Chain A
Amino acid sequence: MSYNIFQIIKEGLRGNKGWQKTWRNPNIKKKYDVIIIGGGGHGLATAFYLAKEFNIKNIAVLEKNWIGGGNVGRNTTIIRSNYMLNENEAFYEFSLKLWESFEKQINYNAMVSQRGVLNIFHSDAQKDSFIRRGNSMIINGADAELYDVNKIKSIYPFLDYENARFPIKGGLFQKRGGTVRHDAVAWGYAHAADRLGVDIIQNCEVNNFKFKSGACVGVETTKGFIKANKVGCAVAGSTSLLLSKADMTLPIESHVLQAFVSESIKPIIPGVITFGAGHFYISQSDKGGLVFGGDIDGYNSYAQRGNLDMLEDVCESGLALMPSISKARLLRMWGGIMDMTMDGSPIIDKTHIRGLYINAGWCYGGFKATPASGWCFAHLIAKDYSHLLSENFKLNRFKNGYMIDEKGQGAQPNLH
């Protein structure tokens, strides 16, 4: 079913009784050309672009729970392309461009809102590094502006400008950055992929792969064996567990990242703000809740829940930036399992097994990457060689010493 104004009027006159399900609940076929494991943002996006851009029709997405129940529903919904290293920036700028035409492509309202992302700096040295990053963004075709304190005061008068330890000296602003309704990303991709004939199979967990003479020929699932010519894995925090079935040990640790939402308050924050002296980012949802987060908890975890010391740390950073939020009450908090790599950058690559592909290592930056990740992964699966924008995101970079380490932290996943 296509969503448009005429459909809304027609359904309005018929008492909204004609709406169909957004995606089908299909029977599993015996064989698919491509199986994508993981019905999150990246998996669904991959299936959609495989069908739409690379003309592969016989595709299934297998999800162990319900689609969108993992990290695509457990983030702070921010989109941006403000990286410094060329390998990252070109890729994330492509992603931001895809976000700009996203709703038209999928015929679904995902509330893409380019409300601007402001990275605040607090010292002259930090200003220099932010200018350098801004220049790198501009070189790669993105937009970046340097805001002085007066400019920031005109938008966000309530920040703590005279804080003795972290005075605000200015900010790097990306106007085209913003937020997207995260659940609608999963539902929208599912809707669009389903219309192109992709089978979305929920409550179907993959337990093992089936190999035949060095190639992956299918998957063993809780709903039986399914044949496939090619299998792509997009399972985020569960990547190490799944790929251990293919005897792979990966440069990944799984860590828990928390996010928080306050009660609804009147509109106060028009865009996205990040604190430069700690790890804290905040925006306000259209419902009025303040959506914010900080660092990962810092130890290996598969628990999908974090601990209170990180909540304290995040709130301290938030209060240092904007003391006025101390009165807002916390409504909800949740945790997602991040596939943290050894250099903080993702992996989109083939494996040593023919027909088995891996899309992982998104650390805690996976949401904004969803469209480009899906596009590049679909390209790799369809053509068997990397898209130009993801050719640096290969597994062998760790062995070859070609790390893409945006923060310069070295092989310490909990610091990226």
Chain B
Amino acid sequence: MSEFIYYGDATLLKRPKWDDKNAEDKFYKYLYLRKNIAGIHKELWFHQQGDRSWLVVTRNTKNHEILKVELAAEVVKGLDK
């Protein structure tokens, strides 16, 4: 059991709206397709065995180096602007 749990690509924060044009296609891409970047990757982690915060971690997938950690709530506020 790990302290932090991985929940995938941070693009999951940008959920399409149900009444968007081409919503079906947008949800297909949102749910299934991933850029799967080799290099700097933004991703979601959950601090399950800690303060249970959602985090956006910027990490290099080529060497596992963590470059930046932000609260997901703060990142989402930035997206809304």
- The residues of A with any CB-CB pair to B shorter than 8 Å are 240-241, 244, 249-254, 298-303, 307, 309, 313, 342, 398-399, 411-414
Contact = CB atoms under 8 A, between A and B. Distances in A.
Candidate in B6, B31, B41 with the most chain A CB atoms within 10 angstroms: B6
A300 B32 contact: no
Contact of A302 (B2, B29, B61): B61
B61 A414 contact: no
B30 to A, nearest CB: 10
Given A309-B2, A398-B28, A399-B28, A251 B61 contact: no
A253 B32 contact: no
A252 B36 CA distance: 7
Contacts of B35: 240, 244, 249
B2 A250 contact: no
A157 B37 CA distance: 47
Contacts of A411: 31-32
Given A252-B36, A411-B31, A411-B32, A302 B62 contact: yes
A303 B37 CA distance: 12
Nearest to A299: B6
Interface in B32-68: 32-38, 41, 43, 59, 61-64
B6 A298 contact: yes
Closest 9 CB pairs of A and B: A240-B36, A299-B6, A251-B32, A398-B32, A302-B38, A249-B33, A300-B61, A342-B32, A298-B6
A251 B33 contact: yes
Contacts of B32: 251, 342, 398-399, 411
Contacts of A252: 34, 36
Interface size class of B (residues with CB under 8 A): 20 to 34
Contact of B34 (A251, A301, A302, A303): A251
A240 B63 contact: no
Interface of B: 1-2, 5-6, 8-9, 28-29, 31-38, 41, 43, 59, 61-64
A24 to B, nearest CB: 32
B36 A254 contact: yes
B38 A253 contact: no
A125 to B, nearest CB: 22
Contacts of B63: 303
Contacts of A313: 1
Contacts of B28: 398-399
Nearest to A316: B1
A336 B28 CA distance: 29
B43 A300 contact: yes
Contact of A303 (B2, B29, B43, B64): B64
A249 B1 CA distance: 32
Contacts of A342: 31-32
B36 A250 contact: yes
Given A253-B9, A298-B2, 18 more contacts: A249-B29, A249-B34, A249-B35, A250-B34, A251-B32, A251-B33, A252-B34, A253-B8, A254-B38, A298-B5, A300-B9, A301-B61, A303-B61, A303-B62, A303-B63, A398-B28, A411-B32, A414-B6
Nearest to B65: A303
Contacts of B8: 253, 412-414
A252 B37 CA distance: 11
A251 B32 CA distance: 5
Contacts of B36: 240-241, 250, 252-254, 300
A331 B64 CA distance: 24
B70 to A, nearest CB: 17
Contact of A241 (B29, B31, B38): B38
Contacts of B61: 254, 300-303
A254 B28 CA distance: 19
